[in-house]
Structure 1
Amino acid sequence: MDIDTHLYLVSAQVVPNLTPALDPSVAPRTVILLCHAGMRAQTEALTAVLKGRGISVEHWPIDDPWDLEHLQERVLELLARFSEQPGRIALNATGGTKPMSIAAYEVFRAAGAPIFYVHPELDRLIWMSPADRPNVELDNRLRLDVFLQAHGASVESAIGEAVPAARRELTAWLAANTGRLGGTLKTLNWLAFKSEGVLRSPRLDEHSARDIELRTLIERLESAEVLRFEGGRLHFPDEEARFYANGGWLEEHVYDLVRALRREHQCGIQDLARSLQIVRRNQRDQPVRNELDVAFLAENRLYLIECKTRQWRNDRDQTGPGSEALFRLDVLADLLGGLQARAMLVSYHPLDKRVKRRAADLRIQVCDGAKLAELGGVLARWTGC
């Protein structure tokens, strides 16, 4: 008898309950979610994703995820529906609390019903019972929007197109000249920032107008059609170009390097995007908006990268902007990617040593200052390419 139903134990671990359902070799027609009130948001998010893929979903509620006897009774009640054909339903023992997993495993084992476990890092489905079934290397079919939806966030907009050649060349030049362009880029950032909404900067003052490095930078931007210099002002064709000059070029650079890794190496990068605008719900069910500079999935693991061109000040305490950026990254990685998520902060300017130590404590990768020229290699090592 073929398995057509899976029992999933709802928990904060979303991916192990999602990848088996989306792999054609083991995908069920029906998923039953063993769930409790404390995991309502995760239950609803997982239900939405599964139903969106044509899978029937049923909730099997429990009162207490830590009461072993109660859990055994609830799983026994469920298996009673399959008493004549216990081989039709398989348990995914990966998620849930420890008592949920133990209770479900014991009941399924006693009934002779199939049990499997999903390796959280290898995306491998391992059959625990019967043990003679071959393990399954699960397909990397998840896309960013589906992954984020399963973690309770919806994507309102994102950019996933290739970077034009002229912009790619300009961006690489900017990244390669971190040393001599520091002050000049600060001026460009300020001019672009002041252009928001009007697409026209304030007039350059006498000092800036005589700055040879700034004029060289403006000429490079003009050649790539990012802006036009006229009447002592910067004129931008659209908001996207203004954002690029206001520091968005670093985001574009990082994104292009990840695209190159995906194109040139077999390292499992399955989907990527930049400038993602997402909405999620907080504990009071209120919408919270966040922007993700660069995000991608590799081997069903979420990677988040924050890109900063600002100069860092007051970073010697826990409330400085560098520390705030790290804590924001850490929280978002946990909320949107769970335990397996990884995060990186890419900074045009050097970070204080104390901030770097905090990044190490939070297991956040950092690439800053002159090391920006080595970012391609840093990304390759970080992703295992």
Structure 2
Amino acid sequence: MPATGNWAAVGASRSPARRWQVFSRRACKASRPAHRITCKTCTAFCAGTRLRRIMSATLTSNGSKTIPKNPSIRRPEMKILVSLVGEQPTPNLIPLFDKRTLAGPEEGRWRAVKFLASGATWKVGENLLKALEADSNTPNSAVAGVARMELKQIEAWSLENARQNIKQALEEVRAAYPDDTIVVNFTGGTKIMSLAAYQAAVEMGVEMVYVNTEKAHISRFDKSGAPLNPPSPFETKISVETLFRAAGREIDQGKTRDVNAIAPNVRDLLWWLANNYDGAIKDCLLPVQKYIQNGLRDKTITAAPYRAPLAPNSKISQEAAGRIRDAGLWAWNGNEVSIEQSKWEFVKGGWLESYAVVALARDNQFDEVSGPLFPKGINLDKEDMPDIDALGCRNGRLALLECKVTGSQEDGGLTNILGKLRAHERLMGGLYGASVFVRASEENKTRVETWAQEYGVNVVIGRDLPQLADRVLKIIS
């Protein structure tokens, strides 16, 4: 069969493979509108960067098949995430760090991400890009190799303008990554932005996702906008440092500690004390702490070592006093304790902060546990309490704990403590975090719980200390 048309124009005298190469090159240089995006005749991507499809064989004029020499190797199809940015950055991170996506085939993984922000959330978008850049340089990063495209501003309150902005962004992404699947995450931003993203995605034939943190799953929508059931649970492991950076905060890693900074014998002691609350904490540790605290306030105690009477009657209280002595935290002769200045901070309340870290880290229920944790750049002198006493992270959600023996005025005042917790929650966790007030004393328990409820803060008090980890996990789950 004689060659005809453009194929014949290549020249029958050349070899079949050479004719295929020349034909593809000529077609890619064509100026016809059909060749502006993808050449429908030669199957080549006309920007000249790569072939859209590989021609496995070409027909010669006599009908035989010849494999072209050195065909371009096509990359595996991957995904590009186009994500709306709202006030809270976490829903933008969850799809990128979802373990199910990362554990799947390469075709389902992310190649690049592009954030779309309004003027009000532009800074959040910048923080997200910085957080991903820093995370990508850490060992075994989930986002290593994920390209970060330029941040784009879109309209927040005009539906038509927002739709046009998002459609333009999708066209830019498609031009840059023609072989990959685009996925729009319309969780963040204003409701107008979300609706506009949905409309633009349907118009462009693009898949969509919505992150539902209440149920910890991702809802997916096909190219027509129809939901794909059932939603898939997400499982992420995002570092606390990345979450803080995405929220515009830094952590001073030189000061921040974790459970490994607590001696193993002290960890065991703290766990035993919490699980024997009445005899060990209520009747032994708290009376000593209160006696010395009052003495320092009234100036009846003026110098270390600080002394307090302690002649416990119960077997558990006696054992507690002995265990604390054996851990080197105080001296005890059966009737009186003596505490050195270097140990007083721990006995005064540091033990509760350390216990919170031990409890959260004990059964590996959390992805990461830290405490005390210091936001970078804040100058803390020796008298200042750690900015965040303990912190647990699970599945992309933060739990921020403030630990006080009583929450009295000496501890900073109850309302100040609760206000501080709420501020931390809003700044670092928002809808994807929770604040927890941990209190050792059960004195005025009802009043504390009432105030905490007014502030929207969760509380764990006294005899509930052994269930601290379970309570916190339930709160953020």
Give the TM-score range, shorter chain.
Answer: 0.7 to 0.9
Task: Look up the match of 1:249.
Answer: 351
Distance change in 2, residues 1:294/1:189 (3 Å):
farther
Distance (Å, rounded) in 2 between the aligned partners of 1:290 and 1:218: 27
**Residues 1:277 and 2:374 aligned together:** yes
Counterpart position of 1:180: 283
CA distance in 1, matches of 2:471, 2:321: 34
- Between the aligned partners of 1:373 and 1:49, the Cα distance in structure 2 is 40
Equivalents in 1 of 2:194, 2:218: separation in Å? 16
User: Which residue identity is paired with 2:366?
Assistant: I
Matched AA of 2:267: R
For the aligned residue pairs, the C-alpha RMSD in angstroms reads 3.6
Q: Partner amino acid for 2:437?
A: L
Q: CA deviation at 1:140?
A: 2.1
SS at match of 2:156: coil
* Partner deviation per Cα, 1:17-72 (whole Å, 9 max, x = no partner): 10211232454222111113322331122111222323322334336411212211
In structure 2, how many angstroms separate the alpha carbons of the residues matched to 1:277 and 1:171?
23
Aligned 8 A contact 1:323 1:355 in 2: no
What is the aligned counterpart of 1:295 among 391, 395, 398?
391
CA distance, structure 2, for counterparts of residue 121 and residue 233 of structure 1: 50
Q: AA paired with 1:246?
A: K
Alignment of 1:49-68 (within 5 A): 49-52=131-134, 53=136, 54=144, 55-62=146-153, 64-68=155-159
1:159 Cα deviation from its structure 2 partner: 1.7
Q: 2:460 aligns with which of 362, 367, 371?
A: 367
Give the equivalent residue in structure 1 for 2:266: 167
Seen in structure 2, the aligned counterparts of structure 1 residues 134 and 280 have a Cα distance that, compared at 3 Å, is farther
Query: Greater strand percent: which structure?
Result: 1
Cα distance 1:40–1:60, how it changes in 2: closer, same or farther (>3 A)? closer
Q: Is the 8 A contact 1:159 1:276 kept in 2?
A: yes
Determine which structure has greater relative contact order: mean sequence separation of CA pairs < 8 Å that are 6+ residues apart, divided by chain length: 1
Higher alpha-carbon Rg: 2
- State the 1:235 CA deviation: 3.6
Q: 1:22 aligns with which of 76, 97, 108?
A: 97
Partner Cα distance (1:365, 1:148) in 2: 21
User: Per the alignment, do residues 58 and 290 of structure 1 end up closer, same or farther by CA in structure 2, a change over 3 Å counting?
Assistant: farther
In the alignment, structure 1 segments of 5+ residues that lack a partner are 194-200, 282-288
1:259 to 361, 373, 381: 361
- Cα pair distance change 1:247/1:296, threshold 3 Å: same
Q: CA deviation at 1:212?
A: 4.2
Q: Is the 8 A contact 1:50 1:56 kept in 2?
A: no
The CA deviation string for residues 103-138 of structure 1, in whole angstroms up to 9 with x for no partner, is: 111011011111111222344332211455985443
Distance in 1 separating the partners of 2:283 and 2:410:
23
Residue in structure 2 matching 1:339, options 428, 431, 436: 431
> How far, CA to CA, are the matches of 1:68 and 1:311 in structure 2?
49
Partner of 1:305: 401
Partner-residue secondary structure (3-state), 1:45: helix
SS in 1 for 2:188: coil
Shift of 1:89: 1.8
2:85–2:121 CA contact under 8 A, matched in 1:
yes
Q: Distance in 2 between matches of 1:211 and 1:142?
A: 47
Residues in 2 aligned to 1:28 and 1:61: alpha-carbon distance in whole angstroms: 19
| Structure 1: distance between partners of 2:410 and 2:390 | 26
Structure 2 distance, partners of 1:159, 1:203, is: 27
Letter in 1 for 2:349: G
Q: Distance in 1 between matches of 2:147 and 2:184?
A: 16
Contact 2:212–2:219, Cα closer than 8 Å, also in 1: yes
2:82 paired with 1:7: yes
Please state if 1:115 is matched with 2:213. no
Confirm or deny: 8 A CA contact 1:79 1:86 kept in the other structure: no
CA shift digits 1:325-378 (9 cap, x unpaired): 11111111121111132221111222463442131233322223xxx2332235
Between the aligned partners of 1:59 and 1:36, the Cα distance in structure 2 is 14
Q: Which residue of 1 aligns with 2:256?
A: 158
Between 1:139-148 and 1:104-113, the stretch displaced more is: 139-148
Letter in 1 for 2:166: V
Contact 2:396 2:432 in 1 (8 A): no
Q: Is the 8 A contact 2:219 2:232 kept in 1?
A: yes
Matched residues in 2 for 1:10 and 1:290: separation? Answer: 31
How many pairs does the alignment contain?
A: 352
1:8 deviates by: 0.8
Alignment match of 1:93 (pick from 174, 186, 203) = 186
TM-score (norm. length: structure 2): 0.64
User: CA–CA distance in 1 between the matches of 2:93 and 2:340?
Assistant: 48
The residue type equivalent to 1:305 in the other structure is L
Q: Percent identity?
A: 21
